[in-house]
Structure 1
Amino acid sequence: MGRVRVAVAATRRALPYLLRGLVSSAVALVLLIRVLLVAAFTLIGIGWLAIPSTVRAVRRWAGGERRRVTAFTGRPVPAPYPPPDEPGPVSTRALLAEAATRRDLGWLLIHGLTGLVVGIGALLLPLSVLNAAVVPLYWSAMPSDDPVQSPYPVTSWLGALGMLPLGLGWLVLTLVLVPLLATWQAWGARALLLPTRDARLSERVTELTATRAAALEAHGAELRRIERDLHDGTQNRLVGVIMHLGIAERALRRDPASALPLLLRAQDQAADALGELREVVRSIYPPVLAERGLDGALAALAARCAVPCTLRVDGLRRLPAALEATAYFVVAEALTNTAKHSGAEHAEVTATVRPPAGPDEEEALVIEVRDDGHGGADESGGSGLAGIRRRVAAFDGHTEVTSPHGGPTLVRAVIPCAS
């Protein structure tokens, strides 16, 4: 019974996908005819001007197919060309030389020719089940000289009832074939529309170059902040301590009784300098991470948050120190934003280790901080969100901020554990 429910659920999910594919393939067939016409006119020298607009149309439709496949499979199909793509007449030859253009045209040909057949077949299977189920209800109303033909002439109750096991057979075929056809169509589209290996490597190099630059910028900004904190805070207090100790030394030689207040003041300034130095050290690597691990450190952050905060952790283990520190500062900055700007009454922090979703995926630490405040968080407003994004990007991760006006706000950071 469980297998039947699974098959029914898979069919209910696959059937709309194939019906949308039926419409998509009809448009693909029209685009394919346009491509052939442009190619024919290009051979006689007047079709070159139409190539860029035709390529843009194909790419737009292929982009829609990528979104459709992504929604069905749950696995993203990235575009192999940078958006927005607005090629002009000068880039026509480069467009035709791109592997992405050739792969898009290959998908257009296959989808345009096979999508109609697959979509019509997926539509006829459940209609056959429905027809077989209702024939016993209406065959007797048909004229005797024009019996129901479905798929044999139905002229008696025996023939009408014989449609029921036939309908059951159609149902089994529907439950088996419709998910298979959807899987086949999605697999074929994914194989053709994914970027080539060279394109993925090139994109990866570009991405790593950008994240490396962001990491160096973040590192430089962090060094400047530490230098500023030490110079403006700790160093000035230590200078004050030295000055008061010098004054106290001279007072001891002249009037020992007057030296005590100076020594006490120097002691207070030394204590303040030590406290500031500890704060700087915590900002570099919080000692609580080494003592209690990431889950304990996040629990301490949630407990100290000015807004009531709930913490949920799942599957956390000891991770590289730099990665744990980044996760800690992401949560600390997000909770600080919540307390200062959101007007929230409650916040929630979730930290989980997400297993790989496929052979090309890797294990990742997922941090989510959400609140029920008024929303409208703006990265350009100096809210610290840009700093969170830079920290995460330095580990080849990505950050998503969702904060519509009226709330709620969600900050989601995904950091690969292999970083």
Structure 2
Amino acid sequence: MPTPSQEALPKTGARAVGPRDVFTRVRATLDAFEHLVGGFGTAALALLMLLWLLVTAAACLVGVGLLLVPGTLRALRAVAGRERERLSRWGPEVIGPGPGPTGLREALADPTTRREMRWLASHAVLGVAVGIVGLTLPFTAVTDATCPVWWRLVPPEQATPSVELWTVRDWPGAFVVSLLGIAWFAVTVCVIPGMAWLQAMPGRRLLSPPPGTDLAMRVVELTATRAAALDAHAAELRRIERSLHDGTQNRIVAVNVLLGAARRAVSRNPADADAVLGKAQDAAEQALAELRAVVRSILPPVLAERSLPDALSALASNCPVPCRVDAGVPRRFAASVEATAYFVVAETLTNIARHSEARHATVEVRHSGDRLWLRVTDDGRGGADEHAGSGLAGIRQRVEALDGTLTLTSPPGGPTNLEVHLPCGL
């Protein structure tokens, strides 16, 4: 599999090579050189791990090595994990397995462990060899190219080019060596990307998960998301039922009782009936206001009739903490996405007003590709914890129900930064 450095190389074909192509080639070489340096580091770790693995295997012949097997297997998984992280930074992600086996029999039967052992042997040899050659080439080129600078400063027998074909004794010879250095630069630019790909090849082939792993993980993720969606739906129904039962229903019962009292007062004392009817009217108005509040919490009318920025601006204007809204979204999104974004901002601003002691808050909304990005920040005291019952767990559950992600950063002393990414289609 080609490395990103190789993928960045232009396919020039028969057309002329311009300065832009040269710049792209040099940049790809520098990226590949950095890749080689990182690969040489993991190759050195692999070499040490291979030696320790051989020592453990030899010790197992006399029984002592069996005590070293669990630690050795964990170290093997850790070294392979470092290589997976390095390869993931330079190309497609290499997904790591779960915890490895701890016993010798389980390790020999585990296909992932066997593949990691094969990678260890190949990377310890090939990775170190390719790394040494790849790291030597640019230094050789620099040494030869700067020969006119240093040849008079060293003993005559040491003033030789990298290939040691002759000894530099005069200025023309020094400039010939500098031309050789330029040739080494050209060789370096041509071969370094391929060497980086060669060094990474064992890891790409042996440390990648078996075919179908990505799909299986996606099925597990979607199953968890579906369960979260059902839980969020059930929690929303319970909230609506609780709001209707504890608020609106009690107000309507009070209206019914007052109307009954007014009906009896009409026949007994008409003067008292007017006061009772006034109380009934007040209770009916309160019940209507609470019912409207419940309806708004389900889907705010301003969100359905106007737009998400307008709805968020209305939330910010009602927040006790001064809040600025920067919503740069050019179009409407699915009702579920906008409702979730509204819910996240509403709950977060409520938490800010109740717990953060903040003096200012900011809500930012952006649309990029198929994701809606939302961030709420405040300059409060920080220390927000979603396990402390502040509503953050409900926000995460609501976000993950749409297959979104939530990131919370809230160090003690602040500031608090909550970022949400929601899929919203193309």
1:394 and 2:401 correspond: yes
How many pairs does the alignment contain?
Answer: 406
Secondary structure, aligned partner of 1:149: coil
Q: Relative to 1, partners in 2 of residues 1:291 and 1:105: Cα closer, same or farther, differing over 3 Å?
A: farther
Who is 1:374 aligned against?
Answer: 381
1:58 aligned residue: 76
What CA distance in whole angstroms lies between the structure 1 residues aligned with 2:200 and 2:368?
A: 25
- Residue 232 in structure 1 maps to residue 252 in structure 2: no
2:43 counterpart of 1:25: yes
Q: Deviations over 1:267-287 (max 9, x none)?
A: 221111111111111222222
Residue 314 of structure 2 is matched in structure 1 by 300
What secondary structure sits across from 1:377 in the alignment? coil
> How is 1:8-407 mapped onto 2 (pairs within 5 angstroms)?
10-35=28-53, 50-73=68-91, 76-82=93-99, 87-89=101-103, 92-144=104-156, 147-151=159-163, 152-153=165-166, 154-175=168-189, 177-179=191-193, 181-182=195-196, 185=199, 189-314=203-328, 317-355=331-369, 363-407=370-414
Distance 1:17 1:146 in 2: 32
How far does the alpha carbon of each residue in 1:253-272 deviate from its partner, in whole angstroms, 9 at most, with x for none? 33434322222221221111
SS across alignment from 1:381: coil
Amino acid corresponding to residue 127 of structure 1 in structure 2? F
**1:320, distance to aligned residue in structure 2 (A):** 2.3
Alpha carbons 1:142, 1:148 under 8 Å: kept: no
Shift of 1:328: 1.5
Considering only aligned residues, what root-mean-square deviation do their CA atoms show, in Å? 3.1
With over 3 angstroms needed to count, the CA separation of the structure-2 counterparts of 1:126 and 1:145, relative to structure 1, is closer
1:79 to partner: Cα distance: 1.8
Show structure 1 runs of 5+ residues with no match. 356-362
Does structure 2 retain, via aligned residues, the 8 Å contact 1:62–1:104? yes
- In structure 2, do the counterparts of structure 1 residues 260 and 164 end up closer, same or farther at CA, with 3 Å as the change threshold? farther
- Name the CA distance, whole Å, in 1 between partners of 2:422 and 2:204: 26
The corresponding residue for 1:359 is none
Counterparts of 2:295 and 2:286, CA distance in 1: 14
What is the TM-score with the length of structure 2 in the denominator? 0.83
Contact 2:74-2:102 within 8 A present in 1 as well: no
Normalising by structure 1, we get a TM-score of 0.84
- CA distance in 2 between counterparts of 1:12 and 1:305 reads 51
With over 3 angstroms needed to count, the CA separation of the structure-2 counterparts of 1:44 and 1:261, relative to structure 1, is same
SS state at 2:146 partner:
helix
Q: What residue ranges of structure 2 are gaps of 5+ in the alignment? A: 1-18
User: Cα 1:166–1:88, aligned 2, differ >3 Å: closer, same or farther?
Assistant: closer
Decide whether aligned partners of structure 1 residues 62 and 232 sit closer, same or farther in structure 2, where only a CA change above 3 A counts: same
State the distance in 1 between where 2:223 and 2:69 align.
33
Judge which range, 12-21 or 53-62, deviates more: 12-21
Identity score, percent = 49
